[in-house]
Amino acid sequence: MTWYEATARPAPHRPPLAGDLAADVCVVGGGYAGLSAALHCAQAGLKTVLLEAAAVGAGASGRNGGQIHSGQRQDQDWLEKRFGADEARRFWALAEEAKALVRRLIADHAIDCDLKDGLIHAAWKPREAPALEAHAAHMRAVYGYETTWLDRAETARWIASTRYHGAVFDPGGGHLHALSYARGLAAAAERAGAAIHEATRALAVAPAPGGAAVRTASGTVTAQHVILACDTWLGDLDPAAGARALPINSFIGVTAPLGEAAARALIPSGAAVADTKFAVDYYRVTADHRLLFGGGETYTARYPRDLKAFVARPIHRVFPQLKDVAIDYAWGGPVGVTISRMPHFGWNGPSILFAHGFSGQGVATATLAGQLLAEAARGTLERFDVFARVKHRAFPGGRLLRAPLLALGMAWYALKDRL
């Protein structure tokens, strides 16, 4: 069991699909992207049915670090070089909208998910500190986005660790309880009129008269539009799109309760922290005064045998003072990454659309993706197309070699973190 499952708001039982249905929109996948799509479609008055293979939040959305980041997964200067200043501004505006959307949905639907403001981006290596500071200056000068630069000594006051060489405090970032947020979105979608069927795996999607049909073991949903929001599993239903992202496993450990004072001493601001490593460490203190720490990745399907020991290593590297504290929970989850680290949005024919590959930054971006998918299903493409214009290459190697080649490449970059 994850810490999220142990502490989340309870969820109702949602029966599987039974029989054939007709709808305006059929959404496949009950993570942030699918739930937000279903909510926005239902709010627009569309008859909406969501099919989830397991349970709401069973994928990455119920087991992630809960961190809300500013910007896209790629920095603005990368986006400016790759797409030009105007398009980079559009990406920035959408990223700001994504954070605002998360906060708005939580407020509008009274989602009880421990939302807290603030995120610290910390430099792991000495040479990364000036680069972080320069990036913060660029964001202030070009986008008017204010953050606070913390030098090495100041950083040690914000994070009780001697590991970092400087940091940027971003008041616009934040964190939340990942599974309670997903469950809150599901409840909001249902109140807006969407039907959610759990334990209902989509087996195939195909064009059908007037739209497309989604076949499951217990019935078929025929709809004008089908929204595929199944992230790392997209390849099962659309192999060509699925080949544009591959899963890597990220792992999270949660300590035993530290007590309020000791927990606050680790990160007095209560902000989340993410560092500059390729295999990033990301962590925060929870509402019940534990440290929730994501760190360590694997690039094959296999999980480490002793997960608690695996997640303890990065925790103790940053906070050696926690060496004697038990790890109560440890789990992993699949992060869908694209080659460019930009999410992949698109169409498979006129009635089937998808968004996936949020590359480790899906709390805000997948929520926004759901809204943009709903807009696109209703014929408004302007914002959807900002993402859909990004060209994506399939990972090389074909079906058999793709995963091992990715593993090799990722392992090389992760090794560079240690050099």
Q: Which of 38, 42, 46, 51 binds ligand FAD (CB under 6 A)?
A: 51
- Give the one residue of 159, 213, 237, 373 binding ligand FAD; rule: CB under 6 A: 237
Site for ligand FAD in 155-214 (CB under 6 A): 201-202
Q: How is residue 267 written in tokens?
A: 């990160």
- How far apart (Å, rounded) are the C-alpha atoms in residues 279 and 408? 14
Q: CB of 260: closest distance to ligand FAD in angstroms?
A: 23
| 32 binds ligand FAD, rule: CB under 6 A | yes
Q: Is 231 in the site for ligand FAD (CB under 6 A)?
A: yes
Segment contacting ligand FAD (CB under 6 A): 78-86, 117-125, 164-172, 332-340? Answer: 332-340
CA distance readout (Å), 140 to 90, 135, 143, 148: 17, 9, 6, 10
Q: Is 235 in the site for ligand FAD (CB under 6 A)?
A: no
Stretch that binds ligand FAD, among 25-33, 121-129, 254-262, 390-398 (CB under 6 A): 25-33
Q: Does 392 bind ligand FAD (CB under 6 A)?
A: no
Integer-rounded Cα Rg, in Å, for the chain is: 21
Closest approach, Cβ 38 to ligand FAD, in A, equals 11
Q: In the complex, which residue's CB is closest to ligand FAD?
A: 362
Q: Tell which one of 33, 88, 243, 327 touches ligand FAD (CB under 6 A).
A: 33
CB of 18 vs ligand FAD, minimal distance in Å:
16
The residue whose two tokens read 């992949």 is 344
Q: How far is the CB of 64 from ligand FAD (least distance, A)?
A: 3
Per CB under 6 A, does 366 bind ligand FAD? yes
Beta partners for 355? 345
* 383, two tokens: 């914002």
Q: Which residue has the tokens 């992230």?
A: 231
What is the nearest approach in angstroms of ligand FAD to the Cβ of residue 277?
Answer: 14
Q: Phi and psi (nearest 5°) for 91?
A: -65, -40
d(CA 338, CA 333): 16
Site string for ligand FAD, 66-105 (x = CB under 6 A): xx-x------------------------------------
Q: Which of 6, 18, 54, 309 binds ligand FAD (CB under 6 A)?
A: 54
Q: What does residue 49 show for φ and ψ, rounded to 5 degrees?
A: -125, 130
Nearer to ligand FAD, 259 or 283 (CB): 283
Residues 240-299 that bind ligand FAD (CB under 6 A): 250, 252, 282, 294
Burial of 43 (C-beta count, 10 Å sphere; 0-12/13-18/19+): middle
Quick one: which of 390, 383, 377 has its CA closest to 96?
383
In the complex with ligand FAD, the residue whose CB is nearer, 62 or 166, is 62
Stretch that binds ligand FAD, among 24-32, 83-91, 159-167, 319-327 (CB under 6 A): 24-32
Binding flag, residue 315, ligand FAD (CB under 6 A): no
Nearer to ligand FAD, 80 or 281 (CB): 281
Is 229 a binding residue for ligand FAD by CB under 6 A? The answer is yes
Taking Cα atoms as reference points, which of 294, 292, 308, 309 lies closest to residue 258?
292
Rounded least distance, CB 358 to ligand FAD, Å: 3
**Which region, judged by CB under 6 A, interacts with ligand FAD, from 59-67, 94-102, 129-137, 310-318?**
59-67
Tell me which of 8, 41, 58, 273 binds ligand FAD, using CB under 6 A.
58
Query: Residue 370: helix, strand or coil by DSSP?
Result: helix
SS3 content of the chain, % helix, strand, coil (to 5): 40, 25, 35
Q: How far apart are CB 267 and ligand FAD at their closest, in Å?
A: 15
Using CB under 6 A, count the residues that bind ligand FAD.
43
Cα three-residue angle 140-143-144, rounded to 5 degrees: 50
Amino acid at 352: I
What does the binding site for ligand FAD look like in residue numbers (CB under 6 A)? Answer: 28-34, 51-54, 58-61, 63-67, 69, 201-202, 229-231, 233, 236-237, 250, 252, 282, 294, 333-335, 356, 358, 360-363, 366
